[in-house]
A and B are shown apart, each in its own frame.
Chain A
Amino acid sequence: QSVLTQPPSASGTPGQRVTISCSGSISNIGSNTVNWYQQLPGTAPKLLIYTNVQRPSGVPDRFSGSKSGTSASLAISGLQSEDEADYYCAAWDDNLNGFRFGGGTKLTVL
């Protein structure tokens, strides 16, 4: 069981807005910043959101991150077929003195 808990799956139709949650604890999300990664099938992960809400250059503003207390969320608006991928949250954990990924959420665009 991951230190950061994500729903295993999520889905939406094109144009819809979907959110993916990431639940942690005071030692990780509650104390440190959260990132989100997108992994398209057969490819390396790509940084989507860093420092809770920041988007790297080139990431569409359809993707947004938020954090409250010991939880974080990734929102995708205007869902597109190419958004079908696995999404991972991640953060440093003070108790483990290590970096942690969530278990991943498989997003299906119906």
Chain B
Amino acid sequence: QITLKESGPTLVKPTQTLTLTCTFSGFSLSTSGVGVGWIRQPPGKALEWLALIYWDDDKRYSPSLKSRLTITKDTSKNQVVLTMTNMDPVDTATYYCAHGRYSYGSFTISIYFDYWGQGTLVTVSS
């Protein structure tokens, strides 16, 4: 049974750095084709993909946020950490981590997130 859970501060001040941890069970992040992604959702708005780390430590970031994001994994602890610098009130959102599956064939990329954490609401305010 795959489970994921996000943890981190619920309130951060503008300009501070946010550090979120995704602790998971039921899979290994060293298994080929597996990844963990971060997705956020501002209140009342759409989902926004932030970052993805693959089993081989390859990393991908949202182009619009790339300069502010860092994603790392600790396979032995079954954790993935996302840091986001220079937080702003517009970054107020529920942040989700999710188990991802990746495959590539015939010049086609297939990526999907099949298990999600419950999400954690992060508010940015002074």
Residues on A facing B (Cβ under 8 Å): 2, 31-33, 35, 37, 39, 44-47, 50-51, 56, 88, 90, 92, 94, 96-104
Question: B108 to A99, Cβ gap below 8 A?
Answer: no
Question: A51 to B110, Cβ gap below 8 A?
Answer: yes
What are 5 A-B pairs with beta-carbon distances under 8 A? Answer: A31-B108, A37-B47, A44-B116, A96-B63, A101-B39
Question: B112 to A90, Cβ gap below 8 A?
Answer: yes
* Neighbour of B46 across the interface among A44, A96, A98, A104, CB < 8 A: A104
* Neighbour of B47 across the interface among A32, A45, A92, A97, CB < 8 A: A45
Residues of A within 8 A of B115 (CB): 47
Q: When A44-B119, A98-B63 are in contact, do A92 and B109 touch as well, CB less than 8 Å? A: yes
Residue B96 interfacial (CB < 8 Å): yes
